[in-house]
Structure 1
Amino acid sequence: MAAREPCKNAVKVRTPSGKELELIPRKVWQLTPSGRKGVKVGLFQDPETGKFFRQKVPDDYPLCG
């Protein structure tokens, strides 16, 4: 599998602690259930706690990570 380039653009997301921040995802991938339109999911790290969480990103965001 070819290595993807790192993510560069920040996305406005709500962290698990409830704050809205602009974060750059570590990785973005496509989830496509059979027979339905897919969504793009990003892996983010909460700057306060260091925990990772997943959040939907806009459809025009490139796959990266």
Structure 2
Amino acid sequence: MPCTEKVKVKTPSGRELELVPVKVWQLNPRGRKGVKVGLFQDPESGRYFRTKVPENYPLCS
């Protein structure tokens, strides 16, 4: 199911924007608490970047 909620993130160019992630997945390192990571696209440059999203954000692709 596609992602629909906006998340406030800092882009690689340094601006803070509210963007909808392309994909969100869970990273679970062995022996530690997992984090959710989102894939975003920078509207200025078109480049993709990853950053942490809030724990209550649903997994989506």
- Report what 1:63 is aligned to: 59
Residue 45 of structure 1 corresponds to 41
Report the TM-score when normalising by structure 2: 0.99
Residues of 2 paired with 1:34 and 1:27: CA distance? 22
The alignment's TM-score, normalised by the length of structure 1, stands at 0.93
Q: How many residues align?
A: 61
**Cα distance in structure 2, aligned partners of 1:34 and 1:54:** 21
In structure 2, distance between residues paired with 1:14 and 1:33:
24
Unaligned 5+ segments in structure 2 are none
Amino acid at match of 2:5: N
For 1:28, give the aligned amino acid: V
Gaps of 5+ in 1: none
Q: List structure 1 runs of 4+ shifted beyond 3 angstroms.
A: none
**Which has the greater radius of gyration?**
1
Letter in 1 for 2:41: Q
Superposed CA RMSD in Å reads 0.3
